[in-house]
Amino acid sequence: MNPAPIPCAEHEIAIDLHAAGALDADEAARLEAHVQGCAACRAVLDASTRALGLARLPPVTEPERRALSGLPVAVLAALRGQERRRTLGVRVAVLSAVAAALVLALASPALLRKSPGQLALDEERAWQALVERQLREEERAWRQPDFDALWEASDVFDLGPSRGNATFVDAALSSYDAGVGD
């Protein structure tokens, strides 16, 4: 079997359309002019015409013609009915969503708003929580003071070697021992 010739690239689709009778008169005339001078395109057109001729159905009988006469109108009417039902469903869904959003937008401030009594109660609870938290922090931070360490750090009485006036230090100690400061 001989391999099929390759048609010109710009006429490849037009050849199959012409074989099926789907080209308009101007395009068919241009293709016919080309095919007369191109053996490869002519061979492909002849092969396509023979193949489509084998696949053609017999002519439609009169009863078939009557049965099929209203078919395109009925099919189009059914398709349009489906499309109307589908678009109606989409419209209803969109309108429902918009209505729900509108109701939510209008009702949400009223639902979220707290009454004056509730606001006062919430503020009181927040204040109590703050005070309790501060008390807990103070209790954790508080330690029993070491009085001996505080006394030594205060330098109220310097009992060490005197740095200056020894008489003043001696007088202070004497008055302390005598109980004058009580």
What DSSP string describes the chain? -PPPPPPPGGGHHHHHHHHTT-S-HHHHHHHHHHHHH-HHHHHHHHHHHHHHHHHPPPPPPHHHHHHHHTHHHHHHHHHHHHHHHHHHHHHHHHHHHHHHHHHHHHHHHHHHPPPHHHHHHHHHHHHHHHHHHHHHHHHHH-----HHHHHHHH-SS--SS-SS-HHHHHHHHHHHHHTTT-
Instruction: Determine, yes or no, domain membership for 26.
Output: yes
Instruction: Determine, yes or no, domain membership for 51.
Output: yes
Instruction: Determine, yes or no, domain membership for 110.
Output: no
Domain holding 53, by residue range, is 9-60
Instruction: Determine, yes or no, domain membership for 13.
Output: yes
Categorize the per-residue pLDDT at 160 as very low, low, confident or very high, splitting at 50, 70 and 90.
Answer: low
Q: Is the pLDDT of residue 143 over 80?
A: no
Instruction: Determine, yes or no, domain membership for 113.
Output: no
Angle between helices 39-55 and 12-19 (to 10 degrees): 40
Number of domains in the chain: 1
Per-residue pLDDT reduced to its tens digit, 59-115? 878 888 777 777 777 777 787 888 888 888 888 888 888 888 888 888 777 666 666
Instruction: Determine, yes or no, domain membership for 56.
Output: yes
Collect all residues with Cβ–Cβ distance below 8 Å to 118 and sequence separation of at least 6. none
Instruction: Determine, yes or no, domain membership for 135.
Output: no
This prediction's pTM: 0.32
pLDDT at position 70, please?
A: 74
Instruction: Determine, yes or no, domain membership for 29.
Output: yes
**For residue 172, how many other CB atoms are within 10 A of its CB?**
14
Per-residue pLDDT reduced to its tens digit, 7-55? 788 888 888 888 888 888 899 999 999 999 998 899 999 998 888 888 7
